[in-house]
Amino acid sequence: MLPVLLAIAAVGVLCVAWGVLVERHWYRLVRYRLDILPASGPPQLTMLHLSDLHFVRADTRKARFLGTLPRADVTVVTGDFLGEPDGVETAVAALRPVRGRFASWFVLGSNDLFVPRPLNYARYFLSRGRRRRRAARGRAPELVAQLLADGWEDLSNVHRSISVGGLSMELLGLDDAHIERHDLRLAPRTAQERFGVAVMHSPDSSPEAAACGYELILAGHTHGGQVRLPFVGALVTNSAMPRRLVSGLVLMGGSRMSLSPGLGTSKYAPFRFLCRPEATLLELRRKPV
């Protein structure tokens, strides 16, 4: 019996070492083609979707990876730029090369607004609902100011009609539903003839956006579960979404949601397992006739 227990312990240690030393830095770019643009729009529009970067002050490998990504027509970051307040300048500088040709958009996540704190992992499994915790405010105003100065647009609780690369859009941006800062009063569509895009941090707002008829939804927050097991999938998602809808392309009625597993992790949970960090390139094309 003892040899078996030792073998199990050894496998566990190796899995943790893999998650900490290898997989959390094993970045990749995933491409999806979506034939969803209206006939009146451009033949193609590319969107680079980034999320949950969790930058700390010294984060050179992640910054180098961002520098290798192809430039897209539109770049969207769905929150949690920061892993600590000292990461503001690092995050802004690392994102400079990936700004979109036509537009660069972002919303914030809770880790941008408040200073992350250590958390007992067991709470993710034992908690029966969200409990409010005291948290110190982070450097969100400085982060937003520096991003705006670099040409990014803050979509936190924003609803407007715009034209991007020849595509008429109805654009919805929502603040973080995970900490109840989203304003769903903005969600109803007012320009159905335009292509609807909804941007949010937590996917908890996605059912409402889909019900309102936004053709494309972009969200993050779940980290893809961060830890997945064979035949089980993600252990937790920290979201109201079902565990099987934890990342990737999700079909919600007539809407398509890009749910990013993100590129980072909390500095208090620095590991991934069977859940590589990802950037997503969406190649949007006209619907087939």
Residues spanned by the domain of 52: 2-286
Q: What is the CATH number of the domain that holds 158?
A: 3.60.21.10
Q: Please write the tens of the pLDDT for every residue from 160-208.
A: 999 999 999 999 999 999 999 999 999 999 999 999 999 999 999 999 9
Residue 118's pLDDT band, with cuts at 50, 70 and 90, is confident
Count of CA atoms in the C-beta half-sphere (13 A) of 166: 12
Residue 6's pLDDT band, with cuts at 50, 70 and 90, is confident
User: pLDDT value at position 126?
Assistant: 58
Q: Is the per-residue pLDDT at 128 higher than 60?
A: no
Alpha-carbon distances, residue 128 vs 118, 122, 234, 238, 269 (angstroms):
19, 12, 18, 12, 21
- Per-residue pLDDT, averaged over 157-162, amounts to 96
Q: By mean pLDDT, which of 113-122, 210-219, 221-230, 256-265 is the weakest?
A: 113-122
Element (H, E) at 259: strand 255-259
- CA gap 26, 110 in Å, rounded: 25
User: pLDDT value at position 181?
Assistant: 93
Residue 130's pLDDT band, with cuts at 50, 70 and 90, is low
Q: Is the per-residue pLDDT at 120 higher than 70?
A: no
User: pLDDT value at position 244?
Assistant: 84
User: pLDDT value at position 127?
Assistant: 54
Residue 9's pLDDT band, with cuts at 50, 70 and 90, is confident
Angle between helices 140-149 and 88-95 (to 10 degrees): 20
Q: Please write the tens of the pLDDT for every residue from 261-288.
A: 999 999 999 999 999 999 999 999 999 8
As for how many domains the chain has, the answer is 1
Q: Are 280 and 260 in contact (CB under 8 A)?
A: yes
Tell me the whole-structure pTM to 2 decimals.
0.94
State the sign of the Cα–Cα–Cα–Cα dihedral 18, 115, 91, 106.
Answer: positive
- CA gap 48, 133 in Å, rounded: 33
Distance of CA 239 to the CA centre of its chain: 13
